[in-house]
Amino acid sequence: KTRLHDPLLGFFGSNDHPGDYRSSGCSACHVVYANDRSPTNSGWWSKFGHQGLSFTADESIPKTERGHPVMHQFTRSIPSSQCMNCHMHQGNLFVSPYLGYTWWDQETDGELMYPKEQHNPTDTELVRSTMENPEAAAARGLWGDKAFLDQVAELNPQLKHTQFADYHGHGWVFRAIFKHDRKGNLLDLDDNKIDNDDSKKFTKAVHLKDVHLAHGMQCGDCHFDVDVHGNGMLYGEPRNATAITCIDCHGTINQRPTLITSGNAGQIDLANTSNTPFGPRFVWEGSKLFQQSSMSPDMRWEIPQTIDTI
């Protein structure tokens, strides 16, 4: 996605699975739909569920009909779950690893995901299933049924080996990535092994989501301006189209950041041209740099400086 309103953004989302509810063009990002009940992935938008339902006061919009935005208004407080609507592919690249998930392998904890007796789909069933989910396995599995797919994350208390995400772009299932040792044992934050029979093992284990997300940052807290709107040029691969890099906020071993982007997509003055709905995005307080959240006026964080770690 290197240009504003690129060919894919010219189309609506399929609006038939959690993770596929979105509009097109500018509203594909700036009008939020309910896609994920995770407070980590959706921030305060998570309270609106994951079924693409409307919560607007407009009485003309059915409140039980899927495919409507949460509210018919633009916002710059965009959760990471909105980004997943397009960036679910590849399932092991881009946003999924940031959230700490990857494609489900269609085997792990499979006893809860397939019928007790093998279902051999007819040609008609296979065609219908692949039109909604391009992986053919869904025609044999239970997750090919939309009602079942809606509730996949609610299977998590029963799962022995993984945990499922609450979003299902393309009708896919995504599984959480946890820290393990080389023998497959789950590890906690201090690298202690967790008993496989511990009923709270997934709560204790380290969910390998990105450290920025763990501190409350959504995708849009790093990627804004050129990184999401593009600059009118086509690039060969996503990293080439990115303006912001790590040193632009964290500095180097020699100096604190200039807040001028150094990525391939050009120089942007973050200190003077980058604002959130709640004020300046970056503020220096002495030698400490703070960033304002784009999601909440009450959330900000100090940005660790590389020069202070050596």
Residue at a domain's end among 212, 247, 276: 212
Is 13 part of a structural domain of the chain? Answer: yes
111 and 190 share a domain? Answer: yes
9 and 70 share a domain? Answer: yes
What was the pLDDT predicted at 7? 53
Is 88 part of a structural domain of the chain? Answer: no
Is 84 part of a structural domain of the chain? Answer: no
Using the predicted structure, report yes or no on whether residue 303 has a pLDDT greater than 80.
yes
What was the pLDDT predicted at 47? 97
What was the pLDDT predicted at 233? 84
Determine the distance from the C-alpha atom of residue 166 to the mean position of all C-alpha atoms in its chain, rounded to a whole number: 10
Is 146 part of a structural domain of the chain? Answer: yes
Using the predicted structure, report yes or no on whether residue 8 has a pLDDT greater than 80.
no
Q: Which domain holds residue 193?
A: 101-212
Is 12 part of a structural domain of the chain? Answer: yes
115 and 206 share a domain? Answer: yes
* pLDDT 10s digits, 194-229: 999 999 999 999 999 999 999 999 999 999 888 888
Residue at a domain's end among 161, 181, 212: 212
186 and 283 share a domain? Answer: no
* pLDDT 10s digits, 256-299: 999 999 998 889 999 988 899 999 999 999 999 999 999 999 99
207 and 231 share a domain? Answer: no
Using the predicted structure, report yes or no on whether residue 99 has a pLDDT greater than 60.
yes
Using the predicted structure, report yes or no on whether residue 251 has a pLDDT greater than 80.
yes
110 and 199 share a domain? Answer: yes
% residues pLDDT > 90 (the chain): 79
Q: Which residue has the higher pLDDT, 232 or 187?
A: 187
% residues pLDDT > 70 (the chain): 97
> Considering only 41-55, 75-89, 102-116, 141-155, which range has the smallest mean pLDDT?
75-89
Is 95 part of a structural domain of the chain? Answer: no
Is 90 part of a structural domain of the chain? Answer: no
Mean pLDDT for 104-110 is: 96
Using the predicted structure, report yes or no on whether residue 72 has a pLDDT greater than 90.
yes
Cβ within 8 Å of residue 232, ≥6 positions away: 3
Using the predicted structure, report yes or no on whether residue 3 has a pLDDT greater than 50.
no
71 and 132 share a domain? Answer: no
What was the pLDDT predicted at 2? 42
DSSP string covering the chain, please? --BTT-GGGGS----SSTT----STTHHHHS-------HHHHGGGGGG-SS-----S-TTS-SS-SS--SSSS--S---HHHHTTTTTSSTTSTHHHHHTEEE--S-TTGGGTS-SS-----HHHHHHHHHH-SSGGGGTSGGGSHHHHHTGGGGGGG-SS--B-S--GGG--EEE-B-B-TTS-BB-TT--B--TT-TTHHHHS-B---HHHHTT--GGGTS-THHHHB-S---SSGGGG----THHHH--SSS---SB--STT---BHHHH-EETTEESEEEETTEEEEE-SS-TT-EEE---GGGG-
14 and 63 share a domain? Answer: yes
Q: Which residue has the higher pLDDT, 232 or 244?
A: 244
278 and 296 share a domain? Answer: yes
When divided into structural domains, the chain yields a total of: 3
185 and 229 share a domain? Answer: no
Residue at a domain's end among 212, 246, 262: 212
pTM here is 0.91
What was the pLDDT predicted at 4? 46
Alpha carbon separation from 94 to 85, 86, 143 (Å, rounded): 12, 10, 24
118 and 72 share a domain? Answer: no
Is residue 232 very low, low, confident or very high in pLDDT (cuts 50, 70, 90)? confident
Using the predicted structure, report yes or no on whether residue 50 has a pLDDT greater than 70.
yes
134 and 52 share a domain? Answer: no
Is residue 236 very low, low, confident or very high in pLDDT (cuts 50, 70, 90)? confident
Is 93 part of a structural domain of the chain? Answer: no
